[in-house]
Structure 1
Amino acid sequence: MEILDFAPIASGICWTVTYFALVYRGFKDKSYGMPIAALALNFAWETTFSVIYPPADGGFALTIINTIWMICDIGIVVTYFLYGFKYFKKQYGISKNIFYVGSVLAFVLAFLMMLTGGQFFGSFAQYFKSDIFEGAQFIALMQNAIMSVLFVAFFYSRKKMGSSIEGQSIYAAIAKMIGTSFTVGIYYIVTHPGAWYFMGVMIATSLIFDMWYCIILYKEIKAQGYSSYSRF
């Protein structure tokens, strides 16, 4: 067997041990051992590329490895939903409803990324047309999706510390939402007909979390006795 042929098998064994250990410790300690973003992306990747789009070049062995990983990930997902809420409540002070809605949303978005991302990255050279600015738009929309998620986490973290609206503006929140999804987001979709699906998931992610941020910030400003729109 060539050394290159052994590499995927070695990787499969090591990652299987990793997942088994996380599942074991999760149930043993009544906890979970993988961050939600990593867990959602991992589970979506392994499910998508073992069941929906099995590897064409790696053959049966890689499909088996990916399937084993997917099964192991199910165990980690179970520990996350069984034991994860107490950590989010302690860190962010959120309710169970927000925990479950946010968690399900993370998995849905991760699956959409995997389902659309494979085809997108498979046509990379053709898609970007050797144009640096095409790459710059891609980076900007990815960055905005990450920023939108972080703004929501930022709010809950600040609220837990008793300073939920300090430094934050409803005008900034609304302007960010409009300046991303409703402007350059729409422009990107219109100018990339038939090739916008993966980036559409990024744009949708930005929009969902920007709307979430606007709503919770608006409610918190009102709850503290301020006029939401006179407080710039």
Structure 2
Amino acid sequence: MDLFLTLVSGVAWTVVYVEAIRVGLRDRTYAMPVAALALNFAWEATYAVGEFRSGVSAQGVVNVVWALADVAIIWTYLRFGRAELPGFVTRPLFAAWSALVFGSGFAVQWLFLAHFGTHDATRYAAFLQNLLMSGLFIALYADRRGPRGQSLVIAVAKWLGTLAPTLLFGVIEDSPFILGLGVLCSVFDLTYIGLLLRERRVAAAPVLGPAAERAL
């Protein structure tokens, strides 16, 4: 069961990254909230290095693959992200802001590592930033007033990719803290999925002409 849940999480999150790259390029925007992207990239880079210090491991390889995928998503943010901001945000200001956000992502990961140690820091940081990401996806939908730069595939894969380790660490390994965070993630993720499904139904609904409306 442990291996199955780990594989589900790994595959689901890989789908999230690949789809985020595809959607970002398609819509000429970035498909992951930037604060969550910064924390994700810092987490993967930090713990990939940690894994390889003791030799090559499956998790280390996965972390490297995810970090490289994040680099592609970061490129979409750097390429298209300034257009999402007010006009007074100049290129230098955008560059400074981006450096602050991504630098802060690494600082947060290293603070978790220093305070909790590797075993707990990897899990606590992952679930807390996951909860942040869940909320920020909804905020992204609201800010863009629709699903531009978003995808139901990302939403569902993100939910499953978080649900699997919630069951593994929260239920099987009996961690109430992680279980609680995982449940909150699911609440936000399912809300986001509901918003995207509603948007899809609205887009698919037939547009009635004036005559049909009068007939109703």
- TM-score of the superposed pair, with normalisation by structure 2: 0.50
The residue aligned with 1:81 is 78
Question: Residue 119 of structure 1: CA displacement?
Answer: 2.5
Runs (4+) off by over 4 Å: none
Question: CA distance change for structure 1 residues 43 and 124 in 2, over 3 Å: closer, same or farther?
Answer: closer
| Equivalent residue, structure 1, for 2:104 | 109
Residue 89 of structure 2 corresponds to residue 94 of structure 1: yes
Matched with 2:132 is none
What is the number of equivalent residue pairs in this alignment?
120
Q: Does residue 121 of the first structure (1) align with residue 120 of the second (2)?
A: no
1:116 is displaced (CA, Å) by 3.2
For 2:98 and 2:66, the matched residues in 1 are separated by: 20
What is the identity, as a one-letter code, of the residue corresponding to 1:89? Answer: P
- 2:61 matches 1:64: yes
**SS, match of residue 31 in structure 1:** coil
RMSD after superposition: 2.7
Q: Deviations over 1:167-187 (max 9, x none)?
A: xxxxxxxxxxxxxxxxxxxxx
Instruction: Tell me the residue number matched to 2:21.
Output: 23
Q: Percent identity?
A: 33
1:55 Cα deviation from its structure 2 partner = 7.9
Q: What letter corresponds to residue 29 of structure 1 in structure 2?
A: D
**Structure 1, unaligned runs of 5 or more:** 126-232
Secondary structure of 1:89's counterpart equals coil
Q: Matched residues in 1 for 2:106 and 2:52: separation?
A: 17
Q: Which has the higher contact order (CA 8 A, sep 6+)?
A: 2
**Structure in which a larger fraction of residues adopt helix:** 2
TM-score between the two structures when normalised by the length of structure 1: 0.47
1:34-72 deviations in whole A, cap 9, x for unaligned? Answer: 111101101110111112x12899x71111111111011
Q: Is the 8 A contact 1:55 1:62 kept in 2?
A: no
Paired residue type of 1:115? W
Larger Rg: 1
Q: Which residues in structure 2 correspond to 1:1-232 (within 5 Å)?
A: 3-51=1-49, 53-54=50-51, 60-89=57-86, 93-122=88-117
